[in-house]
């Protein structure tokens, strides 16, 4: 290994440590100082110092603790220097010294407190904040992404994202959004907001290959949440759902085009993720407190169990969708259930179910894609073409549009084949539940 490569590897290691340490360190500093911006600035400054030192002396055994101690000392120095700060410092002095005694040396006995991260998740995902602000705050403060990285993930400019973060932080401060885990009574709905933010981050990463890092970030945050709240089965359910979805990512696309579940090369699915996800699902079932994320994970677990599309236990999948629909009666769940019905009762039954929800989902491309698939299987090529064209018109991503164009092309091929082999049934799209 040449020295240049060694230095490069060391730099990457330092960057990875920074990203891992950012959320825990900021969370602990917010508890100590009660101010998000101050905490962020202090951690940033500590990173600058660490960056030089660690490259020279190596990464300390407890990097997050080192960052917390160094950032805390810096923040206190900064506060002492400003007049406003002196006042604040006097108020805080008691707290800071009480929780960080003189024994804390530079190599860090100030380990970040786990609960601080949990408090911060609930602050970032407070329902009084706009959903897009919740996502941005979570990625910036807990995920440790730079403002520019968050901006790129959501296809907005860096100044626009910076403004969004400033507004959100202003509201937290002005409205005194609390920095604590909510009471038992508020917990279910507040946890729901946290889970949906994490799932949104994951799905944003799934929509476009250039945003793939959001998926690993979402998995990392979900894992942290499960570790922090081991008694919440829905948090575990969300982690399992992400892992099982993630396991199939290698098979989901080929040359930039979407590959349906039916056609995926199952040997490329990530077995270790499947095993972990399925183990979580089994633990959830033993707990017997089903919820939307656990049921969605259970459905994915059944898919991951099958050696082929045909060998899938579709009856069990329909049963799980029935349960899911009873706790989460949304048209999108009904759509996925209809697609599963096609594999048990056939395309006509699925089409009937789809037509029942068509008015609710008229502007959703996957409804029309599913209708197109069922119509194609029933040999109604003209109606199928119309449905696919409508779906293509509504689709938001290039990948989806390309996939739908391919379906329309295949319809034409069906036509050519049908002259020789009338009544041939063609492949089904399990698009929505295949994602």
Partner 1 sequence: MSTYAVEGEVEGAPSTPEEMEAFMEPVAALEDEMEASGTFVFGGALHGPDAATVLRVSDGDPVMTDGPFVEAKEHIAGFYIINADDLDAALAWGRKVVEAIDHPIEVRPFRATGRVQA
Output 169 or 368, the one with its CB closest to partner 1: 169
What are 388's two structure tokens?
Answer: 């696919």
Name residues contacting partner 1, limited to 211-240 (CB under 8 A). none
Tell the residue number behind the tokens 């919740």, with chain if given.
134
Q: How far is CA 103 from CA 34, 90, 94, 108, 193, in A?
A: 23, 21, 16, 10, 39
Report the nearest approach of partner 1 to the CB of residue 226 (Å): 24
Output 138 or 300, the one with its CB closest to partner 1: 138
What are 398's two structure tokens?
Answer: 């290039």
Report the nearest approach of partner 1 to the CB of residue 177 (Å): 5
Report the nearest approach of partner 1 to the CB of residue 128 (Å): 6
Output 154 or 179, the one with its CB closest to partner 1: 179
Report the nearest approach of partner 1 to the CB of residue 174 (Å): 5
**Judged by CB under 8 A, does residue 34 bind partner 1?**
no
| DSSP per-residue letters across 145-175 | --HHHHHHHTT--HHHHHHHHHHHHHHHHHT
Tell the residue number behind the tokens 């942290």, with chain if given.
224
Report the nearest approach of partner 1 to the CB of residue 127 (Å): 9
Size of site (CB under 8 A) for partner 1: 9
Q: How far is CA 413 from CA 37, 62, 124, 319, 406, in A?
A: 60, 62, 52, 35, 11
Site string for partner 1, 177-216 (x = CB under 8 A): xx---x---x------------------------------
Report the nearest approach of partner 1 to the CB of residue 176 (Å): 4
Rounded to 5 degrees, φ, ψ at 102 are -65, -15
Report the nearest approach of partner 1 to the CB of residue 186 (Å): 7
Output 7 or 166, the one with its CB closest to partner 1: 166
What are 194's two structure tokens?
Answer: 């946290």
Report the nearest approach of partner 1 to the CB of residue 175 (Å): 5
Site string for partner 1, 158-177 (x = CB under 8 A): ----------------xxxx
Angle between helices 187-207 and 114-124 (to 10 degrees): 80
| Contact of 50 with 67, CB cutoff 8 Å | yes
Output 176 or 420, the one with its CB closest to partner 1: 176
Site string for partner 1, 36-75 (x = CB under 8 A): ----------------------------------------
| DSSP per-residue letters across 192-223 | HHHHHHHHHHHHHHHH-GGGTHHHHHHHHHHH
Name residues contacting partner 1, limited to 109-128 (CB under 8 A). 126, 128
Output 175 or 417, the one with its CB closest to partner 1: 175
* Four-point Cα dihedral 46, 145, 161, 364, nearest 10: -170
| Contact of 411 with 418, CB cutoff 8 Å | no
| Interface residues toward partner 1, by CB under 8 A | 126, 128, 174-178, 182, 186
């Amino acid at each position: 290994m040449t020295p240049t490569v060694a230095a490069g590897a060391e730099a990457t290691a330092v960057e990875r440590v920074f990203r891992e340490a950012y959320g825990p360190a900021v969370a602990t500093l917010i508890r100590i100082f009660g101010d998000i911006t101050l905490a962020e600035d202090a951690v940033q400054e500590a990173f600058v110092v660490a960056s030089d030192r660690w490259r020279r002396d190596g990464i300390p055994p407890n990097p997050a603790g080192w960052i917390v101690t160094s950032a805390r000392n810096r923040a206190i120095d900064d506060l002492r220097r400003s007049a406003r700060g002196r006042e604040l410092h006097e108020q805080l002095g008691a707290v800071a010294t009480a929780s960080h005694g003189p024994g804390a040396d530079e190599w860090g006995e100030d380990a970040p407190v786990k609960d601080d991260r949990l408090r911060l998740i609930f602050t970032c995902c407070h329902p009084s904040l706009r959903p897009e602000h919740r996502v941005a705050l979570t990625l910036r403060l807990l995920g440790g992404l730079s403002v520019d990285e968050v901006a790129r993930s959501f296809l907005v400019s860096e100044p626009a994202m910076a403004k969004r973060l400033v507004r959100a932080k202003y509201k937290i401060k002005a409205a005194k959004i609390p920095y604590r885990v909510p009471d038992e009574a508020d917990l279910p709905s507040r946890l729901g907001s946290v889970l949906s933010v994490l799932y949104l981050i994951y799905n944003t990463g799934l929509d476009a290959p250039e945003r793939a890092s959001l998926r690993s970030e979402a998995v990392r945050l979900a894992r942290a949440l499960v570790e922090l709240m081991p008694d919440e089965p829905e948090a575990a359910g969300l982690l399992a759902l992400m892992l099982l979805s993630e396991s199939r990512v290698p098979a989901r696309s080929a040359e930039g085009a979407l590959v349906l579940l039916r056609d995926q090369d199952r040997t490329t699915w990530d077995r270790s993720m499947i095993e972990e996800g399925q183990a979580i699902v089994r633990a959830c079932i033993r707990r017997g407190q089903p919820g939307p994320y656990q049921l969605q994970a259970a459905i994915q677990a059944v898919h991951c169990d099958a050696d082929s599309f045909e060998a899938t236990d579709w009856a069990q999948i329909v049963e799980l969708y029935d349960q899911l629909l009873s706790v989460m009666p949304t048209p999108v769940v009904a759509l996925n259930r209809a697609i599963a019905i096609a594999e048990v009762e056939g395309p006509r039954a699925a089409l009937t179910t789809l037509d029942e929800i068509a008015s609710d989902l008229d502007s959703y491309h996957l409804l029309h894609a599913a209708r197109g698939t069922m119509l194609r299987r029933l040999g109604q090529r003209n109606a199928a073409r119309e449905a696919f064209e409508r779906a293509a018109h509504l689709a938001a991503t290039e990948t989806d549009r390309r996939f739908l164009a391919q379906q329309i092309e295949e319809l034409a091929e069906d036509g050519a084949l049908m002259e020789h082999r009338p009544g041939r049934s063609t492949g089904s799209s399990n698009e929505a539940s295949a994602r």
